[in-house]
Amino acid sequence: MRGGSVGRAERDIVARGARLHEAARAVVADHDRAAEAVRAALRPIHDAEVKRELDAIPVARLQDVTEGRLRLASVERSGLRTVGDVLEAGPYRLRRIPGVGERTVGQMLAAARRLSEAAHETVAVHIDVERPEPGTTALVTALHVLVEAGPDARRAADRATALSARLGPLLADARLAVGRVRMLLASQEKKERASAAVTGIRTLVDEADRAGLPGLLAQASVDLLRAPPSDIAAWVDFELRSAEYYSLLAEISGRQPDVAAAEGFLPDEIAERVRTQHLDDSLRRVSLRGYQAFGARFALAQRKVMLGDEMGLGKTIQAIAVLAHLAAGGRSHFMVVCPAGVLVNWTREIEARSTLRVTVLHGPDRHHAFADWRERGGVGVTTFDALRGFPVPAPGGEEVALLVVDEAHAVKNPKAKRSQAVAGWAERCERTLLMTGTPMENRVVEFHHLVRMLDGDLADSLGRRDAPAGSVAFRKAVAPVYLRRNQEDVLTELPSLQHTDQWEELSASDEEAYREAVLAGNFMAMRRAAYLRPEKSAKLDRLREIVREAGENGQKTVVFSHFKDVLRVVEEALVADGTPVFGPLTGSVPAGRRQRIVDDYTGAQDPAVLVAQIQAAGVGFNLQAASVVVLCEPQIKPTIEHQAVARAHRMGQVRPVRVYRLLATGGVDERLVRLLETKTRLFDAYARRSAVAEASPDAIDVSDTELARRIVEEEQERLGVRDTGLSAAE
């Protein structure tokens, strides 16, 4: 703008800035509206939960709050039995109770309100998928909008807020520049301010264009205004990814778990350093719970650490968050080491939850894959044994930005070659993240070696003598490298039921048994082939790991299978491990005997495992003692799985239930799961809750024989073996 004249270019810049500003404000408004819809749906449900809580607290508790100053006998005689009754009665009715004066009424109501406030802060809303009601349906559908929009919508809203704050004042100053007459009549100071504002707008608009922000804002607005196609669709999605729903619910409601517990009771100076650690989420596709974000920040801030969270708290996603942060900062090479049984899970989780490139460094071509990973970068995923064959990184720690070691308790023996290989890599990598759900502080000698991989000086300071398990002094001593949180401390709003499909690669022995079953056209033999040779069974090895970790965390397990011979294999393997096993509970066991088995299992000390035929245990038994459920193979009828899991996930269960379905890649399990999923998922979900479905589960399931025939034929074609006929019933 020379000489105070207004050019078309300046007007165009201001117009572009105004459109961008309007788009930013719209995204912020859309996101706020979606969040407010969640709060509005949550409010009556939460208030009802609080009322139930207060109605369960006896009036006598008011004595505790007032340190015994109240005399409540006459109040109870008047029919007011609970704190909820007192609050509902109010001051007028309370004053009419004989013997209750004005001062007592005031103290009583003040104490009741304190309990009410505490209940509002601590009571969590749990969404019951088995009993969808109008209120919970409204909450799930409101949450669905934000979950479906994903982290990109939240990022767009945050960027839009920042952009709007910068653009707004500039557009106000630049208004002068779009009118020739006003510009001519303006003072020199205003002209200069308008000119500077146009320059600022141009800079912001150009930056936004280069970053693709207009497209991001437009997509976010579309996503935030997209309602679910139906209530049923929202409920189905909630069942599939309930953790994401509860994560958003906790964030929007502001009802987070106890901060000290979520931060693993770390010393203040360490916790503060972790809190201030930035966490870049631009390459991550999933949101984190507050405690999960803290865990990722802990690994970044402390550089070489052990994450010892209890099973089911999402150690894998915390590790992926660290990987994504470092990749966003320009780091290129990362290594994940894990048992062979979870290698497939790691690759799928990284691909599903981040934009990072994954290379599997396993199998006969692993050395070629390693050379490719070294050249191109990304996340290399390998096994403990394969790692031994790869050259360690160069000294200095710059080649590999992060080494992740899953199931780190597997390398606790310093004399084992796998432990030595991991230790060599840990020494040469810039950062190391050891992960184990086993409470290692209960075995200080084993813990000592893992600490040495991370910090030799700290390991020396601990000494080799045993320390009191869980003692304050011990936790403080290992705080620089060790973070552990327990379910009961941080899962206040997570669902009581979590499903995990555990994909396993068949061993060579498994593959041979499977091929023989396919050649014979025996569908049932194909389904249980993974257990026919127990000594080299990949599924059985993973099952034993799950049971062991559950037991070490004080949890009981129930193992379901369709096949009696699979249950025998499982029982023999677990007994050989020294695990107390109850059952097998099968259809041939008389009903009275079955209940005694369940009662004995319930009364047993941890760890204990009940093995049961899924058809026999699916109906009529309460298995609340189990908080870990293992399904040895996928079932042909989904209703059978749901009914069996419901034996543990029912009223009276006090811990979250974790369900593991063991699946083999590339064969009958994968085809069975895919075929069942391609049925009309929403119809299944609706029918499963209907009276018709409860009375006749077969009404919504495909024909067993037809399904078996299709899978056998497809597998025979895939493996190139001769079709010898179907023997599905064997």
Q: Residue 358: which pLDDT band, with cuts at 50, 70 and 90?
A: very high
**How far is the C-alpha of 600 from the C-alpha of 206, rounded, in Å?**
71
Structure confidence by residue, pLDDT tens digits, 556-609: 899 999 999 999 999 999 999 999 999 898 878 876 687 788 889 888 877 899
pLDDT on residue 394:
86
488-491's contacts with Cβ under 8 Å and 24+ in sequence apart are 488/655, 489/257, 489/258, 489/261, 489/262, 490/257, 490/261, 490/262, 490/289, 490/291, 490/313, 491/257, 491/312, 491/313, 491/656
Q: Give the DSSP H/E element, type plus range, for residue 403.
A: strand 402-405
Contact 127, 140 (CB under 8 A): yes
Q: What share of the chain in percent tops pLDDT 70?
A: 84
Q: What is the mean pLDDT of residues 243-267?
A: 80
Q: Residue 314: which pLDDT band, with cuts at 50, 70 and 90?
A: confident
DSSP code, position 558: E
Q: What is the mean pLDDT of residues 657-664?
A: 91
Secondary structure, 3-state, 44-105: HHHHHHHHHHHHCCECCHHHHHCCCCCCCHHHHHCCCCEHHHHHHHHHHHHHCCCCCCHHHH
Domain boundaries, the chain: 1-255, 257-490, 497-719
**How far is the C-alpha of 708 from the C-alpha of 332, rounded, in Å?**
46
pLDDT on residue 186:
55
Which amino acid appears at position 68 of this protein? G
Q: How far is CA 23 from the centre of its chain?
A: 33
pLDDT on residue 357:
96
Q: What is the mean pLDDT of residues 655-660?
A: 83
Q: Taking each helix axis from N to C terminus, what angle separates 638-646 and 681-688, rounded to the nearest 10 degrees?
A: 40
Find residue 307's DSSP bridge partners: 435, 483
pLDDT on residue 220:
92
The CB-side HSE value for 15 (13 A sphere, CA atoms) comes to: 8
Sign of CA dihedral 672, 678, 681, 687: negative
- Tokens standing for residue 100: 């209750």
Lowest average pLDDT, out of 40-49, 100-109, 180-189, goes to 180-189
pLDDT on residue 342:
78
pLDDT on residue 676:
66
CATH fold match for the domains 257-490 and 497-719: yes
Q: Give the DSSP H/E element, type plus range, for residue 661.
A: strand 657-664
Structure confidence by residue, pLDDT tens digits, 622-635: 677 788 999 999 98
Return the higher-pLDDT residue of 373 and 623.
Answer: 373
**How far is the C-alpha of 301 from the C-alpha of 279, rounded, in Å?**
10
Angle at 719 between CA 715 and CA 722, to 5 degrees: 85
3-state DSSP call for residue 336?
strand
Q: Residue 698: which pLDDT band, with cuts at 50, 70 and 90?
A: very low
Contact 264, 472 (CB under 8 A): no
**How far is the C-alpha of 76 from the C-alpha of 55, rounded, in Å?**
14
**How far is the C-alpha of 334 from the C-alpha of 361, rounded, in Å?**
12
Q: What is the mean pLDDT of residues 404-428?
A: 93
DSSP code, position 390: S
pTM passes above 0.75: no
**What is the edge-to-edge ordering of all strands in the sheet holding 378-383?**
358-361, 378-383, 333-338, 402-405, 432-435, 304-307, 482-483
- Tokens standing for residue 258: 């106890």
Find residue 631's DSSP bridge partners: 560, 661
Architecture of domain 257-490: 3-Layer(aba) Sandwich (3.40)
Residues in the chain: 730
CATH superfamily, domain at 497-719:
P-loop containing nucleotide triphosphate hydrolases (3.40.50.300)
Report the relative pairing of strands 402-405 and 304-307 from DSSP bridges. Answer: unpaired
Q: Residue 652: which pLDDT band, with cuts at 50, 70 and 90?
A: very low
Sign of CA dihedral 360, 361, 366, 368: positive
